[in-house]
Amino acid sequence: MTYRDQQLREEKVFKDPVHSYVHVRDQVIWDLIGTREFQRLRRIKQLGTTFLTFHGAEHSRFSHSLGVYEIIRRITDNFSGRPNWNPEERLLCLTAALLHDLGHGPYSHSFEKIFDLDHEDFTKKMILGQTEINAILAKVSPYFPKKVAEVINKTYHNKLVVSLISSQIDADRMDYLQRDAYYTGVSYGHFDMERILRVMRPLPDKVVIKSSGMHAVEDYIMSRYQMYWQVYFHPVSRSAEVLLSKILHRVKALYQKQYPFKQEPIHFLSFFTGEIAIEDYINLDETIVMYYFQMWMNEEDPILSDLCQRFTNRRLFQYTDFNPIRKITELKELTYLFENVGIDPDYYLVVDSSSDLPYDFYRPGEEEERLPIYLQMTDGELVELSRASEIVESISGKKRTDHKLYYPADLIEQLPDHKIEKGRIKALLGLK
C-alpha cells in the first residue's frame, strides 16, 4: 500500500463543539496535523481582535481548519459513487481543506493590511517550501504539493474541487459561520448544514444544490449576512483593530528613525523591510505579538506606550458614524484641532470602513469566487439562486458599507476646560 492510501490502524477523533467529532482515518492527514506549521495555528485566533468584544471568541485557526476538513470529509463521502465525482481527488480535497488557512499571521486580516501581505501567498510558500508540510505532501507524490497549492490558489484545473474549498457556498464558510456563532454566543450564524450537505451534487465544474434544498441555502445566506454586520464588522472589534494597526505603524516609524527601543522589535524586522523569510513568518504568532505589546507599554515614546496600554488593557477608542463625503470638511477641522491641542491625529483620529457583498450573481471577468450558487431543478435544469429565491434576490449584488470615525474620548475629556478647542472638538464629535 502506498503512503497516499495508507490508513491509520485505529481512527483518530477530535472532540469538536460544532461537528461533535472530527474524524481522521488517513495517515497523510494525521501526519499533517502534527507538523509545526499546522500546530502554529493553535496560536492564531480565528477572529483576531473580536475577543475584546465577544469574550468567548478565543478559538483558533487550528480548530477552524479541522472543521473545514471535517465538512469536506463528509462531502466527499457523500459524493462517493456519484457521477462527475473522481474518487482520486478525495485526498487532494481533504489536504487543501486542512491547509487552506495555513499562512494566516497573528490577528489575521488586520496584520495582512498593515504589512500588505496575502495569507494565501504564505500558505503557498509553506506548502511548496522547505517545511514539514511540504515533506509530507511530497511523500504522496512529487507533484502533490503543487496540486494542493493550486486548489487553495483557485487555479487547479478541476473547478469542482476548487468550489468545495472556495465559493459562495463552501466548506470554509459553512464552518466559520457556525464556529464563530458558537464562540461569540450569538444566534445569527446557525443554519441547517446537515440539509445542505444532503442536497449537494457534483457537476464537472462546480457543486450545485438540489432545488428542494433552496430554503436551507436561503437560511445560510442570511446567516452570513447577519454575522458580518453583527460580529465581523462590530465597531468595537474594529476599534481594537485600529489600535493594533497604529501600534505597528508607530513601531515601524520609530524603527526607521532609529529610535532606541528598550525592547527591540526583533521579530518584526523582516516585516518592516518587506524581505520576509518563511521561517520569520512561521515564528511570529499572537503570543509573541502580545509579549512585545506588554514590553512596549514601558517605552519612552508616549504614543507607542499609550497605544500598547490601550490594546493590552482594553481602553479602546470611541467611535461615531462618519460620512466620508459629507463630513470631509469636519474631518479636516478635527485634524487641525487635534494638532493644536497636542493629540497626534495620525494615531488618534482614524476613519475605518467596512463593506460586504452577502451574495452576488454572475459577473463575467470578476473574481471566480463570486460565481453564483446554482439550484438543480427536477428536470436537471440549472437555475441561479437569486432567480428562484425572492429572499436572496433582495440582497443580491448589493454592497453595504459602514464608516466609523475613531478617537480617544478620554484624552479629549482631559483637556483643560479653558481650551477653546475642547468645546469645538466635542461638538464635532457629538460629545456632551
Residue 310: count of CB within 10 angstroms of its CB: 22
Confidence class of residue 116 from pLDDT cuts 50, 70 and 90? confident
Alpha helices in 22-143 (DSSP H): 27-33, 36-39, 61-79, 90-99, 108-115, 119-128, 132-140
Nearest to 86 by CA among 164, 21, 140: 164
Mean pLDDT of the 136-162 span:
96
- CATH (residue range 3-230): 1.10.3210.10
Amino acid at the residue 21 = Y
* pLDDT of 365: 46
Across the chain, how many H-helices and E-strands are there? 23, 9
Helix-helix angle 171-184:61-79, to 10 degrees: 140
Confidence class of residue 417 from pLDDT cuts 50, 70 and 90? confident
Tell me the percentage of the chain whose pLDDT exceeds 70. Answer: 97
What's the angle, vertex CA 343, arms to CA 339 and CA 344, rounded to 5? 75
* pLDDT of 273: 87
Mean pLDDT of the 394-415 span:
91
Confidence class of residue 317 from pLDDT cuts 50, 70 and 90? very high
Residue pair 178/64 in contact (Cβ under 8 Å)? The answer is no
* pLDDT of 370: 63
User: For the chain, what are the domain ranges?
Assistant: 3-230, 235-356+402-429
Q: Which of 33-47, 258-272, 401-415, 417-431 has the lowest mean pLDDT?
A: 417-431
3-state percent breakdown (helix, strand, coil) of the chain, nearest 5: 55, 10, 30
Q: What are 319's three cell numbers?
A: 467611535
d(C-alpha 97, C-alpha 235), whole Å: 31
Out of 3.40.140.10, 1.20.1250.30, 3.30.565.10, 1.20.120.1200, select the CATH number for domain 235-356+402-429.
Answer: 1.20.1250.30
What lies within 8 Å, CB to CB, of 100 at 6+ separation is: 65, 68, 123, 152, 165, 166, 172
- Tell me the CA distances in angstroms from 421 to 301, 308, 329, 417, 418, one per residue in order: 25, 27, 16, 9, 9
Q: What is the mean pLDDT of the chain?
A: 93
Q: Which of 50-59, 226-235, 295-304, 367-376 has the lowest mean pLDDT?
A: 367-376
d(C-alpha 348, C-alpha 304), whole Å: 12
Rg (C-alpha) for the chain, rounded Å, is 24
In DSSP terms, 362 is beta-bridged to none
pLDDT at 203 over 60: yes
d(C-alpha 431, C-alpha 71), whole Å: 48
In a 3-state reduction of DSSP, which class is residue 20?
A: strand
Residue 68: count of CB within 10 angstroms of its CB: 27
Query: pLDDT tens for residues 64-109?
Result: 999 999 999 999 999 999 999 999 999 999 999 999 999 999 997 7
Mean pLDDT of the 131-158 span:
97
Residue pair 116/53 in contact (Cβ under 8 Å)? The answer is no
pLDDT at 114 over 90: no
pLDDT at 20 over 90: yes
pLDDT at 414 over 90: yes
* pLDDT of 361: 59
**Unique residue bearing C-alpha cell 438540489:** 210
d(C-alpha 384, C-alpha 361), whole Å: 7
d(C-alpha 304, C-alpha 312), whole Å: 12
Query: pLDDT tens for residues 272-316?
Result: 888 899 999 999 999 999 999 999 999 999 999 999 999 999 999
Residue 47: count of CB within 10 angstroms of its CB: 26
pTM of the full structure: 0.94
What's the angle, vertex CA 185, arms to CA 181 and CA 191, rounded to 5? 35
Q: What are 17's three cell numbers?
A: 463543539
Mean pLDDT of the 207-212 span:
96
237: part of which helix (H) or strand (E)? helix 235-256
* pLDDT of 425: 94
Amino acid at the residue 344 = D
